């Protein structure tokens, strides 16, 4: 990696409340289960918003999107529960068909105004150097638009204020799946917990060629090496205040 700059390293950044916005069931675990486990252990309240229910990530011989979505939601709930996440909100947009629309921004703004997080974690929408699911780009873009400036300004989606929600300032966004991480959370103490959470996504077992454990360990080691840790999850820090 060239021009490595480190904004934060070690423990997860201090926060009372953290909202994680992922495109599919298993994205929160794949990108940040270790950080979530460490936050929960430190008393931080973590909530997930999962935009699609992953209905296209099913075995090739099946075409029952609705029941498969229910399977993936159950897997997501089990993983979240294992990690001590407070709750999961499913927006149930169709898998593979997510766009950064005003409607999605409104839904995510409402979730932010409801949960009132200090930090929002989501996909980096602007990667170019490696393949990235288009839903990840769309969700990252919409979540960032919701976190800044929509959720803080009463002029955005005023119908939500009429319904009792208040504007809310998100302090920081942390982007996962990023090409230029500057925030490195040490997940060595919780690597087994991350693996256990990922194993809850039973229907996705074949999505990890070479085996889940090998893939997760090597990615966590890759993320950690530039900063001299053993296993890490890496993010790009975005100040929103
Ligand atoms: Zn995904």
Q: What is the dihedral of CA 83, 152, 98, 131, to 10 degrees?
A: -70
Q: Ligand 1 centroid to 134 CA: how many Å?
A: 9
Ligand 1 centroid–CA 114 distance in Å is 24
Question: How far, in Å, CA of 125 to CA of 110, rounded?
Answer: 20
Q: What separation in Å is there between the alpha carbon of 4 and the centre of ligand 1?
A: 26
Cα 50 to middle of ligand 1, angstroms: 10
Residue 66 in this model has a pLDDT that exceeds 80: no
Q: Separation of 13 CA from ligand 1 center, angstroms?
A: 24
Q: What CATH class does 8-239 carry?
A: alpha beta
DSSP secondary structure string for all residues of 93-139: EPTT-----HHHHHHHHHHHHHH--SEEEEE-TT--SS---HHHHHH
What is the distance in A from the centroid of ligand 1 to the CA of 173? Answer: 18
Residues 34, 55: Cα–Cα separation, whole Å: 25
Ligand 1 centroid to Cα of residue 121, in Å, is 14
2 C-alpha to ligand 1 centroid (Å): 27
Centre of ligand 1 from the C-alpha of residue 188, in Å = 24
Instruction: Give tens-digit pLDDT for 3-17.
Output: 679 999 999 999 999
Peptide bond into 163 cis (omega under 30): no
The Å distance, Cα 81 to ligand 1 centre, comes to: 19
Q: How much is the pTM?
A: 0.95
Q: What are the residue ranges spanned by the domains of the chain? A: 8-239
What is the Cα–Cα distance from 193 to 99, expressed in whole angstroms? Answer: 32
Strands 8-10 and 183-186: parallel
Is-contact 157 131, C-beta < 8 A? no
Which residue shows structure tokens 């288009």?
134
> Across the chain, what does the average pLDDT equal?
94
Return the number of other C-beta atoms located less than 10 Å from residue 38's C-beta.
21
Q: What is the pLDDT of residue 3?
A: 62
Is the C-alpha dihedral spanning 76, 48, 90, 93 positive or negative? negative
Give dist(CA 172, CA 120) in Å, integer.
Answer: 7
> What would the pLDDT profile of 112-158 be if each residue is shown by its tens digit?
999 999 999 999 999 988 889 999 999 999 999 999 999 999 999 99
**Interval between CA 101 and ligand 1 midpoint (Å):** 18
């Amino acid at each position: 990696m060239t021009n490595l700059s480190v904004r934060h390293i070690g423990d997860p950044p201090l926060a009372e409340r953290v909202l994680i916005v992922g495109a599919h069931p298993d994205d929160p675990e794949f990108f940040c289960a270790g950080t979530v486990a460490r936050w929960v252990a430190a008393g931080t309240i973590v909530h997930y918003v999962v935009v699609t229910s992953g209905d296209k990530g099913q075995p090739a011989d099946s075409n029952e999107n609705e029941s498969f979505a229910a399977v993936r939601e159950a897997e997501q709930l089990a993983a979240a529960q294992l990690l001590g996440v407070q709750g999961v909100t499913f927006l149930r947009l169709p898998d593979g068909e997510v766009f950064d629309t005003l409607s999605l921004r409104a839904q995510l703004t409402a979730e932010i105004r409801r949960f009132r997080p200090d930090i929002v974690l989501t996909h980096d929408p602007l990667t170019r150097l490696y393949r990235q699911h288009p839903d990840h780009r769309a969700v990252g873009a919409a979540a960032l638009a919701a976190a800044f400036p929509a959720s803080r300004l009463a002029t955005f989606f005023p119908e939500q204020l009429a319904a009792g929600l208040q504007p809310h300032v998100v302090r920081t966004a942390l982007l996962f799946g990023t090409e230029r991480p500057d925030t490195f959370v040490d997940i060595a103490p919780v690597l087994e917990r991350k693996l256990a959470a990922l194993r809850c996504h039973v229907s996705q077992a074949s999505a990890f060629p070479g085996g889940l454990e090998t893939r997760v360990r090597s990615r966590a080691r890759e993320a950690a090496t530039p900063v001299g840790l053993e296993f890490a999850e890496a993010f790009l820090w975005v100040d929103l205040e």
